[in-house]
Structure 1
Amino acid sequence: MDHKDDQVHTIENVSSITDEKSDHGFTTNSEDLPKGYYRSPFFLGTMMATGFSLAAGVGGFALAAPNLALINAELGPDPNYVWIGLVYTMALAIGLLLVGRLSDLFGRRWFFISGQILAIIGCIVVATASTIKILIGGMTLISLAASTQLSFGIVSNELVPMKYRFFTHAWLYLWCLPASGFGPVVSKAFILYTSAGWRGSYYLLIGINAISALLYFLFYFPPTFHMKFNNRTKMQQLKDFDFVGAFMFTAGLLLFLMGLSWGGSVYPWKSPATISALVIGIVLLIAFGCYETFANLKEPLVPVHLFKNFSWVACSINLGLGASVYYGMAIIWPQMVAVLYTDDGGASIHAGFLSSLVGLMIIAGQLTGGSLAVVIGKTKIQCICVLTIAAATLTAVASCGPDDFIRATVLMCLGCFFVGWNETLCLANAGIDIDDQREIGTAIGAAGSMRSAISTLASTVYVVILTNKLTENIPAIVPPAVIGAGLPATSIVPFLTGFSTGNFTGVPGLTPEILVVGVRAYKEASAKAYSTVFLSTLIFSGLAMILSFFTPNVDEKMTNQVAATLHQKGTETIVGGHAEKHVV
């Protein structure tokens, strides 16, 4: 075929896609794409932008989580410092669905560019924060921006053939290694070896976000609003949008998660603030579900038919149950390492490497699962197997005490590895196991919102259990041990305070021998608390095991179908084609 014929073929191909966009979106086969499409600067630049964006998105949480106490000590103390980590999963729970649905309805390009700009602003606020409240404000901006950054599955899934979606996820997870995998090491290195301290992590994120924003701006040209909806205007789409549902969803989920986060930390569980937030939040979420189901909506926030597909629901819930291990253990495991398995309170770079095991092994599982998913096939069987192993190994960490470092590490690594494997299966399937690929943003966004909401719930449960058990065990075990070793009873309070400050100087009657006894008793008391936390993981992993039997097998959908294509700037020409059909 000569150049002229190739041009005519490309125009016909573009026309066949765009003429049917009202009914069939931009679905095509990879064989029908112009030669060189997947080697074009547009596609490669978009994938690079997505990778940098994902790295920055996970870094916003991973680089802060190991250092919450240190940050509070420098800028506080402020009892609200726990919001530094909690606001991240809360904002994601709300933002992921909104980003997915709105970008389905209005086009994706500027949502993802704007997300990077917002992330840059948030990182600047955090890096220059002088109080905990200002820092929480900056983290809120970072968290909202992460709603686009962690929507990477929308971009990658719709641009590659179905059969390569798992592998594409595996490639993108590589970008998580610096921040999520080695996050505790990177942040610890900034603290130990630079004058910037913990703020250095956010200077780094400013640069990464800037690179991603530039790459998105230069290379990411997905179908525009006018290309997707040739018979509608943006004003019509805006008038038909489900603002009532969006308000009920946002307000309900925000209040519910705030109530969970307040309980036992900011306010008592029985306080009016906690109870009212929980009750009003639940009522609004129930009202939202009824409204979406029974109201006659032209553009509902959540198409109800998604939830009639139980395999998709099971897959999406398991995505959250698996992720709850990461968000929970990213906080719990570094504390456990600091108290039980190091002698410096977790201040060394060695402790940073140990704390990194959670993120590293989850990424290792994600890479393995993404690389082998299609090779092995039967994704339902894979989910059943990996979740069973994860549940068993994570629960078994409860058997580990201060002298069981190797066993605890091996079990934690195995559990996180198989949780990561489950994550890559469920995230890809959330965009595959749907009837209409035009709703891929909504489907992955809804799954992501469930992921973050469940993670917030699980993290809250873990932290509450740990706090309650430490409060119960330490006074019951440590004072009798040190009094029996010869410490005066009047010195108990300053001695226990020393575990918080790391300084036992000036405790009346304290000798090196008594200190050894007290530290050992403190570790034993803490080990009992951590044991209870790991036993509680069975609540979530057990439910995940049950739901895994209802997750989908998608072998028959592993085809060359592509949900959407990149286009040259200002035209409807698919990247790599020669047509010059301009958008009016």
Structure 2
Amino acid sequence: MAEPKPDIDHVEKDASHSVADSDDIRGADFTVDESDLPKGYFRSLPFLGSMLALGISFACGVGGFAFAAPILSYINADIGPDPNLTWVALTYTLTTGVCLILVGRLSDLFGRRWFMIGGACLGTLGTIVCATAQDIPALIAGETLVGLGASCQISFAFTLNELIPFKYRLLANGYIYIWGLFASGFAPVISYAFVFNTNVGWRGVYYLLLAMNATALVCWFFFYYPPTFGMKHARQRKIGFIKNFDYVGTFLVTLGLLLFFMGLSWGGQLHPWKSAYVIATIVIGAVLLIVFGFYEAFVPLREALLPTHVTTHRDFMFAVTIWSLGSAIYYAFAIIWPTMLVTLYGGSHADNPMWPGYAALALNGGISFGEVVGAVVTKKRIHNIIQATLFIGSALLAATASCTPDTPARAIVLMFLGSSFIGWLEVVSSTYSTLLVKDQRELGTAIGFAGSFRSTLSTICSTVYTVILSNRLTENISNMIPPAVENAGLPASSVAAFITALTSGDTTALQAVPGMSPAIIVAGTNAYQLASAASYRTVFLSTIAFGGIGIIFSIFLPNIDHLLTSEVSTTLHSGNAEEAVTVPKDDAEAQNV
């Protein structure tokens, strides 16, 4: 017997009767109770094939960044050097951050099938370009295609969750994060293994991604048949949606996000923070995003890119902000943690080039471990789990500030534990956000916006951490290294040259510094490690501010246990006709007699 439906905010309509004009825009409602699905629906080949496509695609989308990031220096040494190397990573962030909101809204309106197939095609093409790249500009071009494809591939938060009963969404997300455990958790080890243990070198990661993208493409094409445009909008034609689409809003948010991301990414890297390039792009980008917000709120639009009821839903926005803060911690430390390992502890493991890859698992593996375990052990009272994991994870990461060059084990343990709780936070907050979407027909719109918001906040937090680290390193190095090397016998006139050579890692230049001796190198290296440890300490302590904001927001999150029902938002169909595979329970039972 089907469960009685609780009083919830989700919109539930029978798609067969007349709907209001606004519902023509949102599309027919395909919500059905799990008990009304055909027998064996969740064991059918279309459903299982779609689940496989979702898992592999997520691994491709995440791996497009995670596999390349740890070995960029080796790639640059092979086909570079090129001053634009940072764009290999930046272009991925830019494309995913900008396109998620577009993919979510457009696939809500026109159907998801061809967006997912198109994303797999772009990912496949991008990995081919990267795998055959002979210079850094070609690699950047390929990574741009990878990022565009990833905009569809990492959108499981709406492509997956709409196919799963509300009460099982958390477990389903855990299944997806198992794929993330491979593509992100073990990414550093896999990447280093290709570089040091194979003949293909760094190109091997793109050969692997090519095979994965091709497999996902096959699965999407043959198994994934969600509602089509005709099923969603029986009384409408595509041309009407195309004519009335929110092109102005799309232009404003696309250009605004691009400029804002570019300005933050350039600062302190390609250009000084006070550079006109940086200031102008950040300011113009921010202004365009503000204008976009007002435009969506006050201009009457038939098919708005971002309906205002999405951003004015307080509980949803709190949940999305917390979800974004969790991801911000990952992306920030994904940049800082590897450099910390090499700077503070790499010298004692110089004989093992794989050690940084293994140690990096403390972050990547911790996040993925928390995502998978959190999805399994969390049953109800998700809002309390969010509060607890955010507090504990933030506290453990802040405690990493106590680490010194002599405490590598403590740093790795604290990073793993803190990241595990942040990963747990990630899976529960993302699922929680999907359950709070009032009209599940707009799940792509709401979660697509959440993805772009998440990327924006992650970029801001990463920038803050990077600036703090850079400023503290400059200050601590200038204060701690000169007295250490001068006391060891280095002439004051050689201090500047010593610092330049030491921080660049150029041992030849270091030996050529006038007045150099082994004792001076040891003293200077020790002082550099202490200066770096003090700088990283400030970064870890700064996480308290972001964690504190999230903890305050989490206090206001409501209990949503009543939303954990057996309802499914969207069902797959056969692909031969626009007929959903769902049939009334009585008819299904009659067919089995």
**Does structure 2 conserve the Cα–Cα contact (< 8 Å) formed by 1:338 and 1:345?**
no
The code of the aligned residue for 1:353 comes to Y
Equivalent of 1:530 in 536, 551, 574:
536
Matches within 5 A, 1:281-296: 281-296=285-300
Indicate the residue corresponding to 1:507 in structure 2: 512
1:346 is displaced (CA, Å) by 9.7
3-state DSSP class of the match of 2:85? helix
For residue 193 of structure 1, the aligned residue among 197, 222, 227 is 197
Q: Secondary structure at the match of 2:253?
A: helix
How far is the alpha carbon of 1:45 from its aligned partner? 0.4
Aligned position for 1:428: 431
Deviation at 1:491?
4.8
- Per-residue displacement from partner, 1:219-269 (whole Å, max 9, x unpaired)? 000000001100111111111111110100011111111111111211122
Question: Does residue 548 of structure 1 match 2:548?
Answer: no
What is the match of residue 302 of structure 1?
A: 306
Q: When the two structures are superposed, what TM-score results if normalisation uses the length of structure 2?
A: 0.91
Amino acid of the structure 1 residue aligned with 2:364: G
Say which of 395, 399, 406 aligns to 1:396: 399
Matches within 5 A, 1:196-345: 196-343=200-347, 344=349
Q: Deviations over 1:419-467 (max 9, x none)?
A: 1111111211221102111001111111111111111111122122222
TM-superposed deviation, 1:82: 2.0
Cα shift readout 1:14-72 (whole Å, capped 9, x = no counterpart): x9655678575111011111111100110000000110001111111111222233333
The one of 105, 108, 113 equivalent to 1:104 is: 108
Equivalent positions of 1:3-402 (< 5 A) are: 24-343=28-347, 344=349, 348-374=353-379, 377-402=380-405
**TM-score, normalised with respect to structure 1:** 0.92
Query: Residue 282 of structure 2: SS of its match in structure 1?
Result: helix
Partner-residue secondary structure (3-state), 1:302: coil
Residue 542 (structure 2) pairs with residue 539 (structure 1): no
- Matched-pair identity in %: 47
Q: In the alignment, which residue of structure 1 is the partner of 2:6?
A: none
Q: Deviations over 1:291-349 (max 9, x none)?
A: 10011101100110012211100111111110011111111111111111222569721
Counterpart of 1:401 in 2: which secondary structure?
coil
Match of 2:5 in 1: none
What residue identity is the alignment partner of 1:249? Answer: V
Instruction: State the Cα deviation string for residues 165-222 of structure 1 (Å, max 9, x = none).
Output: 0000001100012220011111111111122222211111011111001111010000
Partners of 1:79 and 1:527 lie apart in 2 by: 28
Query: In structure 2, what is the Cα distance between the partners aligned to 1:489 and 1:124?
Result: 53
Corresponding position: 1:419 with 2:422 = yes
| Amino acid aligned to 1:80 | N
1:293 and 1:337 mapped to 2: Cα distance? 47
Q: How many positions carry a matched residue from both structures?
A: 563
Name the CA distance, whole Å, in 1 between partners of 2:142 and 2:32.
42
CA distance in 2, matches of 1:148, 1:247: 19
Tell me the amino acid that sits aligned with residue 369 of structure 1: G
What is aligned with 1:453?
Answer: 456
Structure 2 unaligned regions, length at least 5? 1-12, 589-593
Structure 1 unpaired stretches of 5+: 1-14, 580-584
Cα separation, partners in 2 of 1:99 and 1:421, compared to 1, 3 Å: same
Residue matched to 1:466 = 469
Q: 1:112 to 1:19 in 2, by over 3 A?
A: farther
User: Quick check: 1:380–1:550 contact (8 Å CA) kept in 2?
Assistant: no
Work out the CA distance in 2 between the residues paired with 1:199 and 1:56: 15
After alignment, is 119-128 or 205-214 more displaced?
Answer: 119-128
**Bigger Cα displacement from structure 2, 166-175 vs 405-414:** 405-414
RMSD: 2.1
How has the CA–CA distance of structure 1 residues 422 and 338 changed in structure 2, closer, same or farther, with 3 Å as cutoff?
A: same
